[in-house]
Chains A and B, each alone.
Chain A
Amino acid sequence: MAEPAQQKVFAPWEDPTEKPIIRFEGVTKRFGEFTAVDNLDLKIYRGEFFALLGPSGCGKTTLMRMLAGFESPTEGHIILDGQDVAPIPPNKRPVNMMFQSYALFPHLSVWENIAFGLKREGMEKDRIEARVSEMLRLTRLEQFARRKPHQISGGQRQRVALARSLAKAPKLLLLDEPLGALDKKLRQETQFELMDIQEKTGTTFVIVTHDQEEAMTVATRVAVMDHGKLVQVATPAGIYEAPNSVYVADFIGDVNIIEGAATPRSTPEGAQVEIAWAEGLAPIIATPTEPVSAGQKVHYAIRPEKILVSREPDMARANRVQGKVIDIAYLGNISTYRVRLANGQMISASMTNARRLSRRDFTWDDEVWLNWTDGAGIVLTR
């Protein structure tokens, strides 16, 4: 990630003296029988770009709407900057939202859309002028100020929505699937633009998305949600490299999940665990991140790019297993090999295509070795 060269890494969540800007305390939201958010605790810090990630219906949008004030918690409290927001109506909260549909006012020009919130505040005319110009400059929309929303492109509309929600300089900006309506190329560009703007304004951003790549790209921290609960809250790298559950490992990126029974053992290098996963095949040797007991059923998660595909076994790596190449997915920069092991298990392994395609080492039906180190995968107990 394109982090600027800073003396101190931005990680307020690791500082116990840091006061969070938002605190969810035992927040539950029920719609009739359905529990959308289930007894949830969460702290978000000033200046963060916080992503709520999960499949549709996981409660992430409800969480955001509670912050905006469009829903109120059934139980629990939401504390914004030291103040319980429950009695504050949405139009009085120092929170603005960028809607998924952008919700631009079709009868108003771009300029008037951005000025809308400022005018409601009763700001003086020249200050509105100045603020709107600043927002137009920030989002590179100067030439489009007089246009109506239907006269500009999707990407421009997205920027108008962003400018409008930032105009009032909210303490907190909520973004509901902000890039969902854009095509892939534009989405990637816009992600960096969003990060840039977040950095420039210093506003705390909370983004809701179901796109894990988007969350990983933009966020300082990602919260993975499922069924109204937070499954894991960590930095993108933490979520990817050290998922705390099969759910998270599977939701973020590609992963091979292998089931087996664990046997802990200690070695001079530290604790290790052997996972018996298939009869007749050597156990997987892994470094556990949490204590496991003997015979405990565990899941072993290994990312495809952590596996080396080779003709001959690589003795430097603790785990080696033989198989046959069934499928090759050629993605240009990398190729993903689907390899069937002797027990029928399919394993994906990806290799960067450093060489030209014609000089590729392996092809369909080749017998290959899959090699990985003991630290490459993660032992998951849930």
Chain B
Amino acid sequence: MNYRRFLLIAVPYAWLALFFLVPFLIVLKIALSDTAIAIPPYTPTLDLSGGWAGIKAFFQGLDFENFVFLTEDSLYWKSYLGSLKIAAISTVLTLLVGYPIAYAMAQAADEWRPTLMMLVILPFWTSFLIRVYSWIGIIANEGLLNQMLMGLGIIDTPLQIMNTPSAVYIGIIYTYLPFMILPIYSALEKLDGSLIEAAVDLGCTRAAAFWRVTLPLSRPGVIAGCFLVFIPALGEFVIPSLLGGSQTLMIGKVLWEEFFSNRDWPVASAVAVVLLLILVIPIVLFQKNQEKAEEAGK
């Protein structure tokens, strides 16, 4: 029995070790290396033929130079802060859009729920890139939205949405909305309707009952949704580079440029490692929340 249990537990850990821990260690190693005009573009590389002296030389070649460099150039911390700000704001906005949708779904008649659920998931059936591109067609200066508003005579000059942070917010909210809706919906759906009636019976108005009962009981869903949006939004690269233009400073974009335009793998790796550390904090918080929710669940 113990052997079986061990095997069951070992499989996911082996998977994580192989596809997360090992690649991370490789990235960490590159982050500690120096740039070189070579293939691969960094030194030192581990050369086992050199024997013990080779390994020693390899470890001596590693240093924290790149991490120090990140603190010296304001571009990097500004990008991190920019990403944190954009991720935080778009998480709040997604929550504001997603909660009412999830609430309406949970209130809908039983026979409608699968259809509504389907509609929320439906965008995933199309390529993410195509969906983000199509937003360009909508919000560009000569795009659908501006043409419509000008046609209706509401505005004279086109609204500059494209290549601004607003475009990035639109893109993130649109893309990550289902990740916000689904956990909130699943929390609200489990909510016993008689709890609301009990609150009303005890003197709450409908609004007060929502505030005192529905909202606190959907909190685990809200927190899960926020993390599911915040974490990927923090490292988001595609949306800011397609919609945000050069004004929007996000770390995902900086990372991409370091890797592919600058070909500075060690600095890019250092950026990635720091990003991971920033992400680990909310992930740990998220885990704690999940554990607490499970504990309270039964």
Contact = CB atoms under 8 A, between A and B. Distances in A.
Interface stretch (B169-177, B198-206, B226-234, B272-280): B198-206
B296 A106 contact: yes
Interface stretch (A113-121, A304-312, A330-338, A339-347): A113-121
Interface string A73-102: 000000000000000011110011101110
Contacts of B216: 107
B68 to A, nearest CB: 48
B46 interface: no
B194 A103 contact: yes
Contacts of A100: 194
B202 A101 contact: no
Contacts of A121: 203
Interface string B184-217: 0000000010110111111111001000110011
B247 to A, nearest CB: 43
B200 A150 contact: no
A101 B196 CA distance: 12
Contact of A103 (B195, B203, B204, B208): B195
Given A91-B200, A103-B194, A106-B296, 10 more contacts: A90-B200, A99-B198, A100-B194, A103-B195, A116-B199, A116-B212, A120-B203, A120-B208, A148-B296, A165-B202
9 contacts: A91-B202, A91-B203, A96-B202, A97-B201, A117-B202, A150-B298, A165-B201, A168-B202, A168-B203
Contacts of B298: 150
Interface of B: 192, 194-195, 197-205, 208, 212-213, 216-217, 296, 298
A148 to B, nearest CB: 7
Nearest to B213: A105
Contacts, number: 61
A95 B201 CA distance: 8
Given A107-B217, A150-B296, A150-B298, A99 B202 contact: no
A192 interface: no
A98 B212 CA distance: 19
A91 B296 contact: no
Contacts of A70: 197, 200
B208 A90 contact: no
A52 to B, nearest CB: 18
A68 interface: yes
Nearest to B198: A103
Given A103-B192, A103-B195, A106-B296, A117 B217 contact: no
**Chain B interface helix/strand/loop/mixed:** helix
For B200, B201, B216, which residue has the most chain A Cβ atoms within 10 angstroms?
B201
Interface in A111-143: 116-117, 120-121
B214 to A, nearest CB: 11
A120 B202 contact: yes
B204 A97 contact: no
A164 interface: yes
Contacts of B194: 99-101, 103
Contacts of B204: 91, 120
A117 B203 contact: yes
A34 B202 CA distance: 30
Contacts of A168: 202-203
Nearest to B206: A91
A165 B203 CA distance: 11
B236 to A, nearest CB: 33
Given A101-B192, A107-B216, A120-B208, A96 B296 contact: no
Contact of B197 (A99, A107, A164): A99
A55 B195 CA distance: 25
A97 B198 contact: yes
A95 B200 CA distance: 11
A267 to B, nearest CB: 58
Nearest to B219: A107
A106 B202 contact: no
Contacts of B202: 91, 96, 116-117, 120, 164-165, 168
Nearest to A96: B201
Contacts of A104: 198
Nearest to B297: A150
Contacts of A95: 201
Q: Closest 3 A-B residue pairs measured CB to CB?
A: A117-B202, A120-B203, A103-B198
A101 B94 CA distance: 34
